[in-house]
Amino acid sequence: MRHHIVHSLAIALWLLCAPVYGADRAYWLASQEGATPLVGVQVKLQSFNANDARKIHNAGFAFVRMGVWTDRMGRADYRRALDQAITAAHAAGLPVLLTVRSLGSLAPRAVSRAARAATLAQAGDDMAGLVAQLDRQYGSQLLAIELWNEPDQSKYWPTGDVEETFAPFMHAACERLAVRKPSVPVLGFAFARVPLGGSAAGRLLQPLAGQLPRCLDAISYHAYGMTADQIRAASQALRKRYGLPIAITEDGATSAGLNGADRQAKRVAMLMQSVDAQSASLISIYEWADTPDASDTAQRHYGLLRADRTAKPAFDVIERALRDARASRSSTAAPGG
């Protein structure tokens, strides 16, 4: 079993060394069912730097994921921070998965339904325009662009009335993206739960089903707390229903609380041991380093590293798994290896 895991991770490391910035940057989406996904890690735009990028690359991660807030893109200091973060990742050989969302409401509530729908449609078109702009400016340094983050959580959908407002917004975004697709893959919509059945995420995705093949290159969701079998079953069901690859763009565990560091390490170990059986094209671990100013204790301790960049047991687990894969790559690549 261990040889099988190492062999699978070796493939992921081989993919990391393959050309990412060539004409076809979507090679990872073309992987067959059961193939090993790319493994990356989430970073914070505000604190990510060149030293982090080097450590992440040296640990064996294939990419970094970072969030971009659309309503701050007009600020010169924010654009400068984004440029510096992407440049640091690129210099370390790490393509970037950009997750794009707004911090503020997309449309006012105290207007007529028709006026609100028109405002949402314009906001969706504007977001697609920003995606095109990011693609033009950074495309050669990106792995993909992801539309939104956890819209099925009210915290991340400040517009409110999500079951009425999400579809018009994304319908407009998808219409524009379908006319001229970006050069990098587009993922959607980073649901907090699997978008199937009667779940809130499922109800948000279903109305867009007819547009998805023209708009998205993969469906993304977050897999916190799910077992390996549950992840595999959910991903297979989504592939079957929508005909698109699957990306797990967040998974991990907090190290807060009694025995929290051990629980976090066990979660990461489970993910790495079952990485090739999850029917996903990529997995992004949340997150690289602790966030001291997060809203609650649990959120402050999701990092593989502490805020001072010292390693937790979870980092040692994942680094060891990736290092073992790298060391065995030559032997596993040989016929009969």
How far apart (Å, rounded) are the C-alpha atoms in residues 231 and 196? Answer: 12
Prediction pTM value? 0.90
Contact predicate 70/101, CB 8 Å: yes
Q: Residue 275's pLDDT is what?
A: 85
Q: What is the pLDDT along the chain (337 residues), one digit of tens a residue?
A: 444 443 444 334 434 443 344 345 567 887 656 677 899 999 999 999 999 999 999 999 999 999 999 999 999 999 999 999 999 999 999 999 999 999 999 999 889 999 999 999 999 999 999 999 999 999 999 999 999 999 999 999 999 999 999 999 999 999 999 999 999 999 999 999 999 989 999 999 999 999 999 999 999 999 999 999 999 999 999 999 999 999 999 999 999 999 999 999 999 999 998 888 889 999 999 999 999 999 999 999 999 999 999 999 999 999 998 887 677 654 555 555 4
How far apart (Å, rounded) are the C-alpha atoms in residues 45 and 80? Answer: 11
Q: Name residue, tokens 């699957």.
A: 246
What is the C-alpha end-to-end distance of the chain, expressed in Å?
A: 14
Q: By C-alpha distance, which of 49, 52, 70 is closest to 61?
A: 52
Residue 108 token pair: 């006012």
DSSP-derived 3-state class of residue 197: coil
How far apart (Å, rounded) are the C-alpha atoms in residues 99 and 96? Answer: 9
Using CA atoms in the order 254, 306, 48, 246, what is the torsion angle rounded to 10 degrees?
A: -30
Pairing state between β 64-69 and 282-285: unpaired
How far apart (Å, rounded) are the C-alpha atoms in residues 220 and 149? Answer: 9
How far apart (Å, rounded) are the C-alpha atoms in residues 176 and 59? Answer: 38
Q: Residue 29's pLDDT is what?
A: 83
- Kindly list the structural domains of the chain, giving each domain's residue range(s) and its CATH number in brackets, ordered by start: 2-19+31-333 (3.20.20.80)
